[in-house]
Copies of this chain bind each other. A is one copy, B any other.
Amino acid sequence: MNNLNKYLNYWKKRVNSALKRYLASSDNLSEVIYKAIRYAVFPGGKRFRPILTIASAEICGIDPSKVLPTACAVELIHSYSLVHDDLPSMDNDDYRRNKPSVHRKFNEGMAILTGDALLTKAFEFIAENANIAGISDEKIVEIIKIVARASGADGMVGGQVADTFMINKPGATKTYTSRFVNYVHSHKTGALIEASILAGAVLSGGSREEINALKNYGERIGFAFQIADDMFDVKKDRVNYSDIYGTKKSKRDTNRLIDEAKKSLEIFGSKKEILSLLADYVVTRKN
């Protein structure tokens, strides 16, 4: 894991310094919202999603600094989702990463607006990525479609709605229940992880074959990520994968998904190391 740790640390720093640069306000009246934005974004977590974008761009043969604005964009989308998920009318969490959540530190309305600003800024960042040499407008438009679909009603927001407000019907058939849980998984967490990877592959001009390989990789680690989260989750106030299938099958399934994800990387030969280690990291990161 030494190579991976070095990689994670190096790019976490690069992502953080880019975010710091991009998230400065230009006047003292807008400083109020920028302050809340930075509170939500820093110090932040592992910057896992932007690092996926970076590693995916790199494996397709581009200097990954060229995709930093898009990498930061997927992190902003992740941050906005946490700010809104923590709200009293959603998960009602008072703490996030050992500090008061945004609505506790500021207030509820400010937390809603902070999430809105983060989400909006994500699309501005992606559009700004077009200013970097070698990144075409055509690819930026494609990424905006990919990221918007993965984040909105057909992706993360859809998954969150199902997870939070569509209580699994009591007495529902196992077929319905498992379809429901699969929907939540693939939408709530998987979609943005997959899009983060695709963004790197598309921006770097990866071939059809490379993009497909990374799409398969992304689907699998996204799914494994959520199953692992469910197993780590001590609260268990909702029906989740490990409730339905048990811990044993959950572990077996994540291992299978990670193996499949790593197999999709074979076309990249020796360049696959980092993404391969990142796949393992998805399940080992917490326990």
Contacts and interface: CB of A to CB of B under 8 A. Distances in A.
Contact of A120 (B119, B130, B161): B119
> Interface majority SS on A: helix, strand, loop or mixed?
helix
B158 A33 contact: yes
A137 interface: yes
Identical chains in the assembly:
2
Contacts of A110: 161, 165
A132 B267 CA distance: 36
B90 A157 contact: no
Interface residues of A, number: 56
Nearest to A139: B137
Interface string A146-163: 001101111001101110
17 contacts: A25-B153, A26-B154, A32-B165, A32-B166, A33-B158, A84-B113, A87-B109, A107-B165, A110-B161, A117-B152, A121-B148, A123-B144, A123-B148, A124-B149, A124-B152, A137-B137, A137-B140
Given A33-B158, A84-B113, A128-B145, 9 more contacts: A25-B153, A26-B154, A30-B158, A30-B161, A34-B153, A37-B153, A90-B109, A112-B112, A116-B157
